[in-house]
Amino acid sequence: MIIEQITVGEMEVFCYLVACEETREAAAIDPAGDKDDIEKIISVLEENDLQLSYIINTHGHADHTFGNQLLAGRTGAKTVMHELDDDLFTTDEAKAWAAAFGLSAAPPVDIRITDGYRLPLGKLILEFIHTPGHTPGAVCVLVENNLITGDTLFVGAVGRTDLPGGSMETLLNSIKEKLLPLPEDTVVWPGHDYGDQPTSTMGREKETNPYITDFILDA
């Protein structure tokens, strides 16, 4: 498989291009950013001879979704999000929240998914793990031994929960029940470059992430 990590947007979101090496079919995960950022993503697609089929959002916050329309318009890719966030972030309240940050909320997506949804991508399978807490419909995307965590789990931290729909208790429970059982060599690809390195593993996070060591394992 192919996985490319690209920093986009003013909030330095990590966008990921995941692709089947054999068929060259690709998905873009969290393509935030303006026209220049979208051109950066398009350039990586073209350099690797990849065909974009899906635009996936790990959650509905505008800093992760406001490149959806631009990228879909350029590629014809279908948009994908958990149904809870698709509902929440198309409300007038969510649009006002996005506007307060100078962003635009994404329109309703093409494919609404739930926990355990499996999306074929060439010869790969992308499995969606519902991990509410940062938002009600936050998901992580598991492909082979790679876990794209959005704003659920960072390197050495977790996502904030003081925004509408957030809950620290729910977030920590999601990590405990859904992520900690994964193999320790599972590679963690976070939604922002907030840690001491751009990627990690579940084993490393179990040992060094204070939200896991102090509030889950020692609870």
Q: Which domain holds residue 27?
A: 2-217
**How far apart are the C-alpha atoms of 217 and 219, rounded to whole Å?**
6
Structure confidence by residue, pLDDT tens digits, 96-139: 877 777 777 778 999 999 999 999 999 999 999 999 999 999 99
pLDDT, position 200: 98
As a whole-number percent, the residues of the chain with pLDDT over 70 amount to: 99
d(CA 155, CA 166): 20
CA distance 38 to 32: 8
Cα–Cα dist 10/33, whole Å? 7
The token duo for 133 is: 């807490």
Distance CA(151)–CA(59), nearest Å, equals 8
Which CATH number do you get for residue 167? 3.60.15.10
Of 199, 191, 194, nearest in space to 31 by CA: 191
Q: Which sign, positive or negative, has the C-alpha torsion 147, 189, 60, 168?
A: positive
Confidence class for position 93, pLDDT limits 50, 70, 90: confident
Over 20-80, what HEC string results? CCCCCEEEEECCCCCHHHHHHHHHHHHHCCCEEEEEECCCCCHHHHCCHHHHHHHHCCEEE
The model's pLDDT over 48-66, given as tens digits with 9 standing for 90+, comes to 999 999 999 999 998 999 8
E strands in 117-218: 118-121, 124-130, 139-143, 146-150, 153-154, 157-158, 187-190, 200-201
State the DSSP H helix or E strand holding residue 98, giving kind and residue range, or none if neither.
Answer: helix 92-100
Is 0.85 surpassed by the pTM of this model?
Answer: yes
Tokens of 104: 């635009």
Please report, for residues 28, 48, 172, 198, the alpha-carbon distance to residue 158 in angstroms, rounded to integers and kept in the order given: 22, 32, 9, 14
Question: In total, how many domains does the chain have?
Answer: 1
